[in-house]
Amino acid sequence: MNENITPHPQRLVQPQADSPHILIVGAGVIGLVTAWALLDRGYKVTVLSKGWANVGQTHGDRLTSQIAGALWEFPPAVCGSHIDAVSLEYSKHWCMTAYWAWKQIADDAGLSREAGVRMTQSNFFFPQQLSDENAKCQKLMNKMVEIAGSGVEGFRHAGAKLAEERGVNPKYEGGIMDGYELSVPVIDTDQAMHWLTNLVLSKGATMTTRTIDTDLLMVEKDLRNECHADAIVNATGLYGGALSGDDSCSPLRGALLRVVNDGTTFPKVDAALSISADVSEDNEIIFIVPRTDNILLIGGIAQDNQWDLDLTLDTPVVQRMRARANEFLPWLKNAKLDPAYPLAQGLRPARSKNVRVERELRRLESAESSSRIVHCYGHGGSGWSLSFGCAADVIDLLDEAIEGKEPEAMNYRI
């Protein structure tokens, strides 16, 4: 993939007796990709988590990373949760690192099958022409221009005709007036999480099941001594704030319907179709994504500070989600729910200042030196899209911490 990482079981660099040992707390996509990157650079790695990726048990047992839509997006994501300027600038870099990493996996036929990663066309539709002279359209136009210049493949600004090409109702919500598409990675998260777990194990990581529910700074010394760790990574997603004394974290509840997409009851959908929360006024969005060869995801919603996973097929917001998709893509009126797993729901790890990839800035009065904790949480709906980019920055910060350098806040590093 590049000189620092390989998707094969063998490490690129073998650890030595004095190689640093990193403890990663959290086993979602962020924790596992970070572990992978560290292992290939010769670090020793232990991943500690209260739960692991699974398939075949109750659907509520799935990790947030398994429930995610996992369609690569240039920030801000369609769920509309990315508003902090500093984090947004970082994310534009992180996402491109991840784009090329996932694309290289998708471009290898064998790896694509094993990892559940492939490329698809991602289409974005708008009820106004992006050239209109108002603040919202200018913001959306600027994003499109950035995407076009980012190096992503398959970009095309097709305008309103994109709706006709994709079978979208041209009169949806008053009319589709503009649109563009690009080629992006899309990930079967169940398959990918198992592949990542096995890959990290094959490269020599130790995995320990354990729950930590207190501020890591308060237990850092004991935890590092117990695990013989030189540094700690906080990759605990929604609980990243609780483990770092950060009260700006909250859940952003999402849900996805899963329908059979085998071409039997409607023409098979082979491209992603979206209208983002930047366009919607109520955070109820259009998000239609082919997940596997025969499953299509239909979404979505973004409900702030909702902790309960109590949505059902009869919940009004879920029924509106289905009705909205049917109006947008009329073929879907004939779609049949996946009988084994019709509704996926989860809590995106949101944060008011968005993604935090930063060393611990606090210092205990009793401490002789700065903390060796690196935080990586608050990814909202973008964990898969930012994963490899964040992992690279985490490694740089770990090196600084181990070398004894003083920590700097994110806004000073940009």
Whole-number pLDDT of residue 338? 97
pLDDT at residue 151 in the model: 96
How many other C-beta atoms lie within 10 A of the C-beta of residue 148? 14
Alpha helices per DSSP H over 120-270: 135-148, 161-165, 189-202, 216-227
Q: For the structural domain made of 21-413, what CATH number should be given?
A: 3.40.50.720
Q: Which of 269, 39, 266, 7 is nearest to 117 (CA)?
A: 7
Label residue 164 left, alpha or beta by phi (over 0 means left) and psi (-120 to 50 means alpha): alpha
**pLDDT at res. 61:** 78
Q: How much of the chain exceeds pLDDT 90, in percent?
A: 90
Q: What is the pLDDT of residues 94-115, one digit of tens each?
A: 999 999 999 999 999 999 999 9
Q: What pLDDT digit, counting tens, does each position of 163-173 carry?
A: 999 999 999 99
pLDDT tens-digit readout, 171-219: 999 999 999 999 999 999 999 999 999 999 999 999 999 999 999 999 9
| Extents of the domains making up the chain | 21-413
Q: Is 49 helix (H, G, I), strand (E, B) or coil?
A: strand
Helix (H, G, I), strand (E, B) or coil at 71: strand
- 64 marked as part of a ligand binding site: yes
CA 152, CA 155: separation in Å to the nearest integer?
7
Distance CA 47, CA 25 (A): 6
Distance CA 396, CA 103 (A): 24
pLDDT confidence tier of residue 56, bands split at 50, 70 and 90: low
Annotated ligand binding at 381? The verdict is yes
pLDDT tier at 138 (50, 70, 90 boundaries)? very high
Residue predicted with more confidence, 59 or 48:
48
Q: What is the pLDDT of residue 342?
A: 98
Check residue 93 and report its DSSP letter.
H
Scanning the structure block, which residue is given the tokens 């309103």? 160
> Considering only CA atoms, which of 67, 39, 64 is closest in space to residue 49?
64
Q: Mean pLDDT, to the nearest integer, of 256-267?
A: 97
Residue linked to tokens 């694509």: 112
Q: Cα dist. 49→23, 98, 237 in Å? A: 11, 23, 11
Confidence of residue 284 (pLDDT cuts 50, 70, 90): confident
Helix 189-202 and helix 29-40, axial crossing angle in degrees, nearest 10: 30
Please check the confidence at residue 145 and state whether its pLDDT lies above 60. Answer: yes
Question: Once rounded to an integer, what is the mean pLDDT over residues 140-148?
Answer: 96
Pull the structure tokens for residue 366.
């009793």
Residue 2: CB atoms within 10 Å: 13
Per-residue pLDDT tens digits for 218-234? 999 999 999 999 999 99
Is 348 annotated in some ligand binding site? Answer: yes
Nearest-Å Rg of the Cα atoms of the chain is 21
At residue 54, the pLDDT reads 86
Containing H/E element for 122? strand 117-126
Helical residues (DSSP H) of 265-371, grouped into ranges: 316-328
Predicted pLDDT at 30: 99
Q: What is the pLDDT of residue 283?
A: 64
Give pTM, 2 decimals: 0.96
Gap between the Cα atoms of 47 and 34, Å rounded: 10
Q: Which amino acid does the sequence have at 107?
A: D
Tell me what pLDDT residue 141 has: 96
* 108 touches 157 (CB < 8 A): no
Residues 62-84: tens digit of each pLDDT: 999 999 999 999 998 887 656 78
The reported pLDDT for the residue numbered 276 is: 79
